[in-house]
């Protein structure tokens, strides 16, 4: 089985890399969008990053335009929006697909490790979140309506057992 850390990803600046740099950290991987009813969750995601970032935690944002075309911009526009509207400092990656034939391998891995309601693998909407422990184990999938604030205690427990 491929490790989460070996899966190729592309930064928002289009640099090819993997998630190896995040090995040993607690991660919250989120498919994000700038024109969604849940877009205000960027604020809560950044607050989690601010609160736990120096303890070995990171939010990883993966823009996706598969739900209602709510992420129409290119990488530069997405990065600018996130920085100016929400002061985002957590890592953002290139826009990807999370479902279908062209789904990114990272999301195929996440969906297999943490299926949704009734075992569904499909991502239902923007701001679906996956919590990953320090060993790269996908622990839990959170629905879009689950706010970042509601996940904070689980992150804290992982960082401070």
Entry field: residues in the chain: 161
11 pairs with which residues across the strands? 93
The one catalytic residue among 19, 36, 78, 155: 36
C-alpha angle 2-5-70 in degrees, rounded to nearest 5? 100
The per-residue pLDDT for 114 is: 87
Q: What is the pLDDT of residues 71-99, one digit of tens each?
A: 988 999 999 999 999 999 999 999 999 99
How far are the Cα atoms of 92, 104, 158 from residue 58, in angstroms, in the given order? 11, 20, 13
Are 90 and 56 in contact, with CB atoms under 8 Å apart? no
Report the DSSP pairing between strands 26-32 and 129-132. antiparallel
Query: How far is it, in rounded angstroms, from Cα 155 to Cα 57?
Result: 8
Q: Is 64 an active-site residue?
A: no
- Tell me what the pLDDT averaged over the chain comes to: 93
Q: Which domain holds residue 26?
A: 4-159
Counted domains in the chain: 1
Check whether 121 has a pLDDT greater than 90: no
CATH code, domain with 39: 3.40.30.10
* Better-scored residue on pLDDT, 98 or 38: 98
Check whether 23 has a pLDDT greater than 90: yes
Q: What is the pLDDT of residues 127-149, one digit of tens each?
A: 999 999 999 999 999 999 999 99
What percentage of the chain has pLDDT greater than the value 70?
Answer: 99
């Amino acid at each position: 089985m491929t490790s989460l850390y070996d899966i190729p990803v592309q930064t928002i600046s289009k640099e090819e890399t993997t998630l190896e740099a995040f090995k040993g950290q607690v991660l919250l991987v989120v498919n994000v969008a700038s024109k969604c009813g849940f877009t205000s969750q960027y604020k809560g995601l950044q607050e989690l990053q601010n609160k736990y970032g120096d303890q070995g935690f990171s939010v990883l944002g993966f823009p996706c335009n598969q739900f209602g075309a709510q992420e129409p911009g290119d990488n530069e526009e997405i990065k600018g929006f996130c920085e100016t509207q929400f002061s985002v400092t957590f890592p953002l990656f290139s826009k990807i697909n999370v479902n279908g034939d062209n789904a990114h391998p990272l999301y195929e891995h996440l969906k297999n490790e943490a299926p949704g309601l009734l075992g569904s693998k499909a991502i239902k909407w923007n701001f679906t979140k996956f919590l990953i422990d320090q060993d790269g184990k996908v622990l839990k999938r959170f629905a879009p309506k689950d706010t970042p604030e509601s996940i904070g205690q689980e992150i804290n427990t992982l960082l401070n057992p």
